[in-house]
Homo-oligomer: A and B are copies of this chain.
Amino acid sequence: MKKYLVEDPWKIIESGFDPTNSEVSESIFSVGNGFMGVRGNFEEGYGGDTLPGSYFAGIYYPDKTRVGWWKNGYPEYFAKVLNGVHWIECKIMAGAEALDLSKSKISDFERTLNMQSGMLTRSFIWHTATGDLHIQFERFCSFSEKNLGAVQIKISSQNYHGPVTLKSGLDYDVWNQDTNYDEQFWEDFASLDSEHGVTISARTRKTGFEVAASTAVLVSASDWKTLTQQEERYVGFEINGSLSSGQEVVFQKLVAVESSLYVDAGKCRTATQHYIQEWIRDGYKVLRKKHVDKWAEKWQDVDIEIAGDIAAQQGIRFNIFHLLQTYRGDDPRLNIGPKGFTGEKYGGSTYWDTEAYCLPFYYHSCGPQVAQQLLMYRYRHLQKAIENAEKLGFKKGAALYPMVTMNGEECHNEWEITFEEIHRNGAMLQAINFYLQATGDYTYVQKNGLPVMIAVSRFWDQRMNYSEDKKQFVILGVTGPNEYENNVNNNWYTNFICKWCLKFTTTQLESFKSEHPQEYLDLIKSLQLTEKEIKNWNEKAENIYFPYDEQRSVFLQQDGFLDKELRPASSIPKEEYPIHKNWSWDRILRSCFIKQADVLQGLYFFEDQFDKETITRNFEFYEPLTVHESSLSPCVHGILAASIGKIEKSYEMYLRTARLDLDNYNHDTEDGLHITSMAGTWLSFVYGFAGVRIKDQILVLNPVIPDQWNQYSFKIIHQKSVVTVEVNNEIVSVTNNSEHPVNIKLYNKAHKLGKEKRVESALNLPVTSDG
């Protein structure tokens, strides 16, 4: 890994072109708007290493599973993120010479992603055989009009005289790199040409999703000639003219996209034609301004400022920017894919990452309605989660949410994860609880939450069994959050979240019963739930076994953990990191080393139930054993460390995630960005340093500041308010920027902040210090 990007508070800048960074840059310079997204591929094409990527929300293909050894219960299909119509294409010719940065002679290359405006620009001088052209690109996926993508190309002749051609198209001859059987996933191509532009559509095989695109190109020079091109999988324009020294031509390519998620299949083409017609009237400049304004407006609610640390500043904004590009929160069928719109790796779009890591970000950045949309995603998949559990032998409406999914069906096939990493089921209820704590929206919980909670509780009820030996209930054969242990018995985290789920469900049922007795009766009748079943859950919850080390007074990650040779991760030689690449799988499994927070994940989720000493003891036992080889590990450690006063450790953990992709720490940024881990970074800042929590609808703040910084500030949404928090070495101030009053608790002192009101407090020093 080498750092090649310029540090800047608002921009990602690549100065000079180095082909070895090509695919990494394609990931980093991705732009999207939650409906569609495109990797930083070059408009003119590229003959070197490239991963072409143009993705559309919710459009997937169920590839047939390929495994070495089939296990009963595996899904037959594996939903894949699809590479769709390549709409940025603008090939450029100077006479007979085609522009291709893998071959052409160029200079003064600069590419910039402006995160404030959401604009991607690129410029360079093309030294053609017969003269030099200055080429400037500008691209955006509109943040205000979700169906709009746009490219502007300005070509200025410095000393070139001759013909110039632009071939601007919509290309459906696309392939997925990630396929099991090397098949093309699109079919039924239909293209047409009308006075307002050209249009193409196609449908996905099997799933039958339709995606249509229309495009028009506005040319600044009226004497240039435009010819329409139409092939089976391609439509576009060839635009010919000529330039002399000092002349320039500007092309503004507008693209309208629509998918059958929003418009009936067969009607997408008409829809995109309408859009394009309208947008031609508006013009590129107006559309661009709307987009830029929308981003500016968004940053009003979500920005984080770190004074005097440009690398950290750039890192955190990069994370926020990409999270907002990935998910809009206006469609309950969508979710946050692990690579967003920046790559096709990992089939499916949704992991427990959404509930465990992303939900707080989207709540605080987009508000309660968007958080609710994320819950609705799982509510809508309840029936499929029940079917998934049935496939594994569970009964009576028990649900197991999939490890990875697109449409509610499981698309993961590794028995030790798919069948055993069942703690994910608990995250669904955690998310409901988070939403309830934040909003106090009991109506949602009672209508949409309880069916999920009951089905998940039924799963836990059946998944445990009574151990005659222990005289307690045990949960056998699981994989906890730490995937460096497989098929263990009594994973502490899993047992704990199981118990919590049962208690949460029975408590909420109890409230519902006393508040709305008739609706309660209707609900339990419709689900064939009995008082006996509920009582049974309560009894079992009280009698679940938890592995514990009496000597060290720490919770044990699982049965038998103390049989391992315990030694710190610091004893692993540097050259053996990361161990998942350098050690055999069995060696990893037998070792004591922890991939990501496991017991500590539980202490983070349920910190209210443990005192600081307990958290500290467990942190000090487990953190040294942890190799953080999941991008989701450091953030949890960072948050916990801050909460127990280990600010140095918290800062160390923060640094591990904040620039993960910008600095390509894991050597895999070329596959796409680590989108869900970006939410973890945000958490480690806001929940870590600022000590934010939501409890009983109150915004709780316990800020600390690392020694390395003098000042930081951020904005977050809580309920209907936007709150600004400013922290420096002496003072913490909290301002309500909205018209709605907001309840906060700063260092344990409650305040009700009215419109535009501000409260200050001296910065608290941490109670426990590092070391």
Contact = CB atoms under 8 A, between A and B. Distances in A.
A601 to B, nearest CB: 21
A511 to B, nearest CB: 34
A756 B587 CA distance: 58
Given A392-B584, A565-B466, A68 B65 contact: yes
Contact of A467 (B413, B466, B563): B563
A386 to B, nearest CB: 15
Given A65-B68, A68-B413, 11 more contacts: A66-B68, A67-B67, A69-B413, A71-B584, A73-B584, A73-B585, A415-B585, A415-B586, A467-B563, A468-B566, A489-B560
The size bracket of the interface on A is: 35 or more
A581 interface: yes
Given A414-B69, A559-B559, A586 B465 contact: no
A586 B470 contact: no
Nearest to A389: B584
A349 B66 CA distance: 24
Given A470-B563, A563-B476, A420 B71 contact: no
A393 interface: yes
Given A469-B562, A564-B465, A584 B487 contact: no
A740 B564 CA distance: 56
A414 B415 CA distance: 11
Instruction: Please give the count of copies of this chain that the complex contains.
Output: 2
A470 B588 CA distance: 21
Contacts of A587: 392-393
A589 B487 contact: yes
Contacts of A537: none
B584 A419 contact: yes
B392 A586 contact: yes
A73 B588 CA distance: 11
A391 to B, nearest CB: 7
A580 B415 CA distance: 14
Contacts of A583: 72, 393
A474 interface: yes
A743 interface: no
Interface of A: 65-69, 71-73, 391-393, 413-416, 419-420, 465-470, 474, 476-477, 486-490, 559-560, 562-566, 580-590
Contacts of A65: 68
14 contacts: A66-B66, A66-B68, A68-B68, A71-B584, A72-B581, A393-B587, A416-B416, A416-B487, A465-B565, A469-B563, A476-B564, A476-B590, A487-B487, A487-B589
Contacts of A66: 66, 68
A398 to B, nearest CB: 13
A486 B584 CA distance: 17
A652 to B, nearest CB: 27
Nearest to A413: B68
Nearest to A67: B68
Nearest to A415: B585
A565 B476 CA distance: 10
The 4 A-B pairs at the shortest CB distance, nearest first, are namely A73-B584, A419-B586, A469-B562, A67-B68
Contacts of A581: 72
Nearest to A486: B487
Contacts of A465: 563-565, 590
Contacts of A588: 72
A132 B565 CA distance: 79
A521 to B, nearest CB: 34
Contact of A560 (B391, B420, B476, B585): B476
A263 to B, nearest CB: 36
The listed residue with most B CB atoms (<10 A of its CB), out of A477, A489, A565, is: A477
A585 B71 contact: yes
A586 B563 CA distance: 24
A563 B474 contact: yes
A151 B466 CA distance: 64
A487 to B, nearest CB: 5
A566 B470 CA distance: 13
A488 B487 CA distance: 8
Contacts of A414: 68-69
Contact of A72 (B415, B469, B477, B584): B584
Nearest to A470: B563
Nearest to A563: B467
A468 B565 CA distance: 8
Contacts of A72: 580-585, 588
A425 B141 CA distance: 60
A551 to B, nearest CB: 9
A302 to B, nearest CB: 36
Contacts of A73: 584-586
B68 A586 contact: no
Contacts of A466: 565
A130 to B, nearest CB: 48
A465 B589 CA distance: 13
Given A68-B67, A392-B586, A477-B590, A560 B562 contact: no
Nearest to A489: B560
Contacts of A563: 465, 467, 469-470, 474, 476, 489-490, 559
Contacts of A420: 586
A629 to B, nearest CB: 12
A533 to B, nearest CB: 20
Contacts of A564: 465, 467, 476
Contacts of A416: 416, 487
A547 to B, nearest CB: 11
Nearest to A422: B586
B559 A467 contact: no
Contacts of A67: 67-68
The listed residue with most B CB atoms (<10 A of its CB), out of A415, A476, A564, A590, is: A590
A420 B487 CA distance: 13
Given A465-B565, A468-B562, A563-B469, A477 B392 contact: no
A563 B73 CA distance: 24
Nearest to A560: B489
A592 to B, nearest CB: 10
A145 to B, nearest CB: 40
Contacts of A582: 72
A477 B68 contact: no
Contacts of A469: 562-563
A581 B71 CA distance: 9
A550 B180 CA distance: 52
Nearest to A589: B477
A72 to B, nearest CB: 5
